């Protein structure tokens, strides 16, 4: 994946999150009704919920994206080491940095999720 495609995916995700937040704040439908309508794929305020992506699916896609970035980095490194004239050292270094940054971001997300889980588990009943 290139940076432009990743940025588009992030923008789409942010747009979807804003839409859901706006729908949750709409007084025309109560929150439980809205949640059930979205989960069942029913129409909400004239908008059909055609895409059912859960948190687990989003997380899996993110992990797969990080894995793909690391695999691309590894293949570029191998090609450069083998002397491929089409692979430039700058391409290799940029891809290595992309892989490093994406892995670090995924690690931070994991740490935040674990922390949130521990906070929830430590809540009094």
Structure confidence at residue 31 (pLDDT): 43
pLDDT digits (tens, 9 = 90+) for 23-69: 666 554 444 454 555 455 554 444 444 456 788 888 889 999 999 99
Domain assignments of the chain as residue spans, ordered by start: 1-52, 53-125
User: Using 50, 70 and 90 to split pLDDT, how confident is the model at 16?
Assistant: confident
Q: What is the pTM assigned to this prediction?
A: 0.54
Checking 115-119 for CB contacts under 8 A at 24+ apart, the result is: none
Count H helices and E strands in the chain, helices first.
4, 2
d(CA 21, CA 104): 28
């Amino acid at each position: 994946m290139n940076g432009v495609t990743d940025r588009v995916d992030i923008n789409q995700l942010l747009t979807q999150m804003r839409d859901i937040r706006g729908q949750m704040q709409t007084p025309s439908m109560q929150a439980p009704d809205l949640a059930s309508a979205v989960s069942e794929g029913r129409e909400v305020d004239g908008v059909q919920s055609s895409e059912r992506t859960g948190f687990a699916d989003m997380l899996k896609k993110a992990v797969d994206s990080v894995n793909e970035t690391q695999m691309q980095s590894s293949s570029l490194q191998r090609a450069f080491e083998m002397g491929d004239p089409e692979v430039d050292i700058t391409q290799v270094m940029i891809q290595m940095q992309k892989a490093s940054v994406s892995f670090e971001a995924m690690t931070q997300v994991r740490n935040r999720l674990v922390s949130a889980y521990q906070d929830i588990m430590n809540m009094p009943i």
